[in-house]
Structure 1
Amino acid sequence: MATAHAARGADRPYGAGDAAPPPAADGPAHWTAVAGVSLGIFTIVTTEILPVGVLPTLADDFGTSDGTAGLLMTLPGILAACCAPLVMAAVGRLDRRIVLTALMALLCLANVLTAAAPAFWVVLVARALVGLVIGGFWSAGAGLAPRLVPAAAVGTATAVIFAAVPAGSVLGVPAGTLLGQQAGWRSAFAILAVLAFAVAVLLARSLPALPVDATVGLRAIGALLRIRGVRLGLAVTGLLVVGHFAAYTYVAAFLRDVTRVDGAQATAGLLVYGAAGVAGNFLASRALARSLRGAVAAYAGGIGAVTLLFPLLGQSWPGAVGLLVVWGFLYGGVPAAAQTWFARSAPDAPEAAAVVFTSSFQAALAGGALLGGVVVDAASLSAVMFFAATVCAAAGAAVAVPAARKSP
């Protein structure tokens, strides 16, 4: 490591030192820890999205409007985007095993507060804590695969970690919604609190010591933004995620009002989408290994084509299901592709790259949902699909920007 430092010299581009090195190719494999990180992200994703399924009853219980209750969805995403760099700067060189365990314990507390909330403002406080957890856990955990498994297994470990994203949608949210319908929305958050506590214990017991020899300060993140590959990654993944969530946020409403299916069929369609996303996530590692730029271009062009066709073919139930399968499969690889892009653009600053990934992804998620709502209110559900197609096409065009010196 000292030799590598000397070779780069004082003018290395990141100015923040290096995180602890990954294990050697023949080093130990901490697969239980990989599973723990994946379960942590699964719990976070389920907690973040669950209000979608229980919003009406929660709003009725507190006597708020659906629009006001909608803050429970937008607040965590906005705070996660803002908190990711702040949390990582605050924890400094603290062992990441301690950081991840503490953040999962904080998620447990947030869900306990939600389940027991006597007033709506308490739920808002709890959701603010959820946003803090999202920003910190994703930043510290999303890029851990190289430090937990040998080099040859990093692709598989990354796929396992990111499988939690579609799994949270296809398993966690429907299960939580069903539980909320049967036993009340508070019970769903109580179960999530228990799950978060169990994951905290698992992480404490399975993660190896994860020291770092560099802090992820705001200056280091600023230095990262001067790298052309990072800036290009922000443009490409930002546009792609905005386009996706502008359309996906309202796909259930499209199925109801345009495809004209009942609630059970719409739920089945979303389950099919989620299952395809899990498959797409696991197959993404091969595509990313062959050509990261090619994979991102395929995701952008494919999702753009699907959303463009949705107002046409999605008017029939078979057409809508077919498009949802393709859409889910393509988007399943997007989170891993975005994280990989930033990691390759800044190989000497993996944790700072993870912070940039987390902040940009969460900001794009919230921005996409917001812009989609503006288009739906101003025009129609079909119009938001065309809008999403245009944004995704712009993401595909951005991939064609000539490679930078440190481009992935």
Structure 2
Amino acid sequence: MTETVNRPTAAAAQGAPAWWAVISMTLGVFGLVTAEFLPVSLLTPMADDLQITEGLAGQAMSTTAILALITSLLTATVTRSIDRRYVLLGFSVLLTISNIMVATAPSFVVLLAGRVLLGIALGGFWTMSAATVMRLVPEKSIPRALSILFSGVSAATIFAAPLGSYLGDVIGWRDVFLLASLLGVLALVVQFLTLPKMPPRGRATLRTLVEVISRPRMKFGLFSLVLIITGHFALFTYVRPFLENITGVATAGVSGILLGFGLANFIGTYVGGALVARSLRMTIALMPMIMGLAGIGMVSIQGAIVPTTVLVAIWGMAFGGVPVAWSTWITRTVPDEAESGGGLLVAGFQLAIATGSGVGGLLFDASGALGVFTIAGMLLVGASIIVTLGLRTSPVPATEQA
């Protein structure tokens, strides 16, 4: 075991996947996504404590997303001469500092500063994660390694929303963020012990990003992705106020419903993987349609707890397949530029998160949760139709990659 941990590069080169290093990456993803999504379940107490509106508190999500977007585009270029091991460890350090700053923030401004650091860590780590995993395992093991990586997202969804809501009611939202900082410490320690030295590869520059995004299929695909993720996060950021104000669910009930969302999301990751194996195009189009109809359905019933709980679970399961499907799409579309393509994918996600949570906050303050869920649901249905009509998902021939 010691030899495997200390020499994962050699092991991978000989065909033996460095699974401990992959697990350390998964822990990093788990800690980052948990920190990113905690405001969803703690929005109300955060707003009350800081004496701001829930719509303004929701900007803690959009601020992180904006910085993650910028970082995802610049990471490969700015760090192109630095060993990837040290870059990843640095992002885990930022994750820990960010959570401590948020937990001790005396004002909304300081809280936003902490979320800025999280955005830098999130965008950078996500940009490098898929490309790093591809260096830790032989080619035949990449699909399995990526599935393990994405399981960190699903696990964070289970942890951040329901457990964050429950613990926030028991120990306070600030202590929840302190606990999240321990996840950063755990990820840092395991990464330090297992990640090998990984000298940078390729010629990552801003010009490379421009070249990749100019390739056939990329612009339309990223536009479609942004529409889908925008709709999802407009719903997700304000799901707690919807459940409390429209459905009339108490805090304990919110935790239970969000737990159902997280568990369904975890299952949806594997369901999505199975569907991708059958038809990537169908999977990419079907998921937002289900999510949109679930959101519109929640608006139409306005208060029935059991149907709302079921619809939230259906929505969570559908979203579980989205990252799997779109990551598969990017590997088929720009297989020769994994890190740059991954950066663009992360940028698309973060732009959509910022748009969804930011515009959702404006809608929430103007028309309440019903307005947010109605418009977001319609956007998701529209995105599904757009994908069905125009997205190409077949592998790009080698002659079209340059």
Instruction: Please state which band the TM-score falls in when normalised by the shorter chain.
Output: 0.7 to 0.9
Alignment of 1:390-405 (within 5 A): 390-399=378-387, 400-401=389-390, 403=392
Give yes or no for contact 2:281–2:393 (8 Å, CA) kept in 1. no
CA distance in 2, matches of 1:67, 1:184: 20
- CA displacement, residues 90-146 of structure 1 (integer Å, 9 cap, x when unaligned): 101422222111110121222233344455543332221111001100001144433
Give yes or no for contact 2:227–2:383 (8 Å, CA) kept in 1. yes
CA distance in 1, matches of 2:54, 2:393: 46
- CA displacement, residues 147-186 of structure 1 (integer Å, 9 cap, x when unaligned): 3333343223222211222321221344344444434444
Q: Which residue of 2 aligns with 1:137?
A: 125
Shift of 1:322: 1.7
What TM-score does the superposition give when structure 1 sets the normalisation length?
0.85
Amino-acid identity (%): 33
Shift of 1:87: 2.4
Q: Which residue of 2 aligns with 1:6?
A: none
CA distance in 2, matches of 1:112, 1:128: 13
1:248 aligns with 2:236: yes
Shift of 1:240: 0.8
Q: Which amino acid aligns with 2:63?
A: L
1:42 aligns with 2:30: yes
Q: Which residue of 2 aligns with 1:76?
A: 64
Q: Which residue of 2 aligns with 1:259?
A: 247
Distance 1:394 1:62, change over 3 A: closer
Alignment of 1:58-207 (within 5 A): 58=46, 66=54, 68-117=56-105, 120-207=108-195
Q: CA RMSD in A?
A: 2.7
- SS at 1:157's partner residue? helix
- SS at 2:377's partner residue? helix
1:334 aligns with 2:322: yes
Counterpart of 2:284 (choices 277, 289, 296) is 296
- SS at 2:217's partner residue? helix
Alignment of 1:228-377 (within 5 A): 228-313=216-301, 315-377=303-365
Counterpart of 1:388 (choices 371, 376, 379) is 376
Give yes or no for contact 1:155–1:285 (8 Å, CA) kept in 2. no
Shift of 1:194: 2.5
Q: Which amino acid aligns with 2:316?
A: G
Q: Which residue of 2 aligns with 1:7?
A: none
Shift of 1:260: 2.9
Q: Which amino acid aligns with 1:360?
A: G
Distance 1:312 1:367, change over 3 A: same
Q: Which amino acid aligns with 2:390?
A: V
Distance 1:205 1:217, change over 3 A: same
Give yes or no for contact 2:281–2:391 (8 Å, CA) kept in 1. no
Q: Which residue of 1 aligns with 2:205?
A: 217
How many residues align? The count is 387
CA distance in 1, matches of 2:372, 2:283: 25
CA distance in 1, matches of 2:30, 2:272: 19
Shift of 1:275: 0.5
Shift of 1:328: 0.8
Structure 1 residues without counterparts, runs of 5 or longer: 1-19
CA distance in 2, matches of 1:80, 1:339: 18
Distance 1:163 1:292, change over 3 A: same
CA distance in 2, matches of 1:187, 1:153: 39
Shift >6 Å, 4+ stretches: none
Q: Which amino acid aligns with 1:401?
A: G
Give yes or no for contact 1:42–1:172 (8 Å, CA) kept in 2. no
Structure 2 residues without counterparts, runs of 5 or longer: 1-8, 398-402
Distance 1:270 1:174, change over 3 A: closer
- SS at 1:163's partner residue? helix
Q: Which residue of 1 aligns with 2:3?
A: none
- SS at 2:276's partner residue? helix
Give yes or no for contact 1:156–1:285 (8 Å, CA) kept in 2. no
CA distance in 2, matches of 1:149, 1:386: 44
Q: Which amino acid aligns with 2:194?
A: S
Give yes or no for contact 1:177–1:188 (8 Å, CA) kept in 2. no
CA distance in 1, matches of 2:247, 2:110: 38
- SS at 1:50's partner residue? helix
| Further displaced range: 88-97 or 65-74 | 65-74
